[in-house]
Amino acid sequence: MEMEVKDLYFSYPTGREVVKGVSFKVRSGEIFCVLGPNGCGKTTLLKCLCGILKPSEGSIFLDGVEANSIPKTERAKTIAYLPQEHMTLLPYRVLDFVVMGRAPHLSIFSTPSDKDYEIAGEALKEVGAYHLKDSPYVELSGGEKQLVLIARALTQQPKILLLDEPTSQLDLKNQAIVLGILGKLTRRGLIVVMTTHFPTHAFLHSSRVGLMADGRFLAVGEPEQVMTEENLKKAYDIDVKVLTVKSPLDDGFIKMCIPTGVILARRCFCKIEHAEEGT
């Protein structure tokens, strides 16, 4: 499977142009990470990719076929989208909530079959959340909800998974769990396109990166080529240090990003602390 995006534009009815000439390509088994500041167009781009929004110009191709020519139900079987937030006040049981992902495979008046529930259960097992199957969805923690949402997306049996900031509200453990699951899914052959505010996650987990600012990609390519100190400063309007540190797990090295202001603030704090100790 391959998704190719060519010269994509999107404007809201007010005339405000949010996505401006975005192009990239992503293949089976890859994680494509979109980084950029708040309001730069990342969420709008994902909504264009999954068909929630219709681009003003440009094309999206799925294995060489223009996405607009594919019926919506068939497109929904190919692409699953996880928004940044999902709110529901109804006390759905987790398994019933997850089986809703089978909707593209059901006719308009049909109900989920035993096979559909089996697929939903397997998806919960894949993300390590099967033990939650009888719990009310509204009572879950943020991390548990994210796992259940991924499971619901997997019940669509998609080839492409779009995720809007999937780790933004998670603690360190749940971030690691979610990123580990996404890595496992790509090894199974899925395409993952995700937005994030964590450059270090992109260094560690993505195959390719698109660095976005003001609706455009400043650079697209491998993480080391795209996420340079110069490019990150252009995107975020802040000085950033890209550090290379030895991996604690093997003989390799990993990269991480730290805003220079954080380092300077720490130095100032230490100087003040030492001065107070000397008085």
- For 21-80, the pLDDT digits (tens) are 999 999 999 999 999 999 999 999 999 999 999 999 999 999 999 999 999 889 999 999
Q: How confident is the model at residue 266 (pLDDT cuts 50, 70, 90)?
A: low
Q: What pLDDT is recorded for position 250?
A: 82
Alpha carbon 182 to chain centroid distance?
Answer: 9
Are both 176 and 250 inside the same structural domain?
no
Stronger pLDDT, 260 or 261, i.e. the higher one: 260
Those residues whose C-beta lies under 8 Å from the C-beta of residue 41, and which sit 6 or more positions away, are 10, 18, 19, 20, 212, 214, 215
Are both 220 and 271 inside the same structural domain?
no
CA-to-CA separations, 248 to 212, 223, 243, 251, 252, in angstroms, rounded:
31, 20, 15, 8, 9
Q: How confident is the model at residue 277 (pLDDT cuts 50, 70, 90)?
A: low
Are both 47 and 129 inside the same structural domain?
yes
Q: What pLDDT is recorded for position 46?
A: 98
Alpha carbon 227 to chain centroid distance?
Answer: 17
Rounded Cα gap, residues 89 and 145, in angstroms? 13
- Give me the number of domains the chain comprises: 2
Residue 255 pLDDT > 80, yes or no?
yes
Q: β-strands 160-164, 79-82: how paired?
A: parallel
Residue 270 pLDDT > 60, yes or no?
no
Give tens-digit pLDDT for 159-188.
Answer: 999 999 999 888 899 899 999 999 999 999
Q: For a pLDDT cut of 90, what percent of the chain falls above it?
A: 75
Residue 276 pLDDT > 50, yes or no?
yes
Q: What pLDDT is recorded for position 279?
A: 53
| Domain extent for 87 | 2-237
Three-state DSSP class for 271?
A: helix
Are both 221 and 115 inside the same structural domain?
yes
Are both 270 and 231 inside the same structural domain?
no
Are both 10 and 123 inside the same structural domain?
yes
Three-state DSSP class for 5?
A: strand
Residue 272 pLDDT > 50, yes or no?
no
Supply the pTM of this predicted model.
Answer: 0.90
Mean pLDDT of 218-237: 95
Average confidence score pLDDT of the chain: 91
Domain containing residue 149: CATH number: 3.40.50.300
Are both 179 and 256 inside the same structural domain?
no
Q: What pLDDT is recorded for position 169?
A: 83
Are both 254 and 213 inside the same structural domain?
no
Lowest mean pLDDT among 6-10, 108-112, 193-197: 108-112
Rounded Cα gap, residues 76 and 65, in angstroms? 15
Number of Cβ within a 10 Å radius of residue 172: 8
Are both 254 and 128 inside the same structural domain?
no
Are both 278 and 159 inside the same structural domain?
no
Are both 226 and 276 inside the same structural domain?
no
Q: What pLDDT is recorded for position 267?
A: 55
Residue 273 pLDDT > 80, yes or no?
no
Q: β-strands 79-82, 17-27: how paired?
A: unpaired
Are both 217 and 258 inside the same structural domain?
no
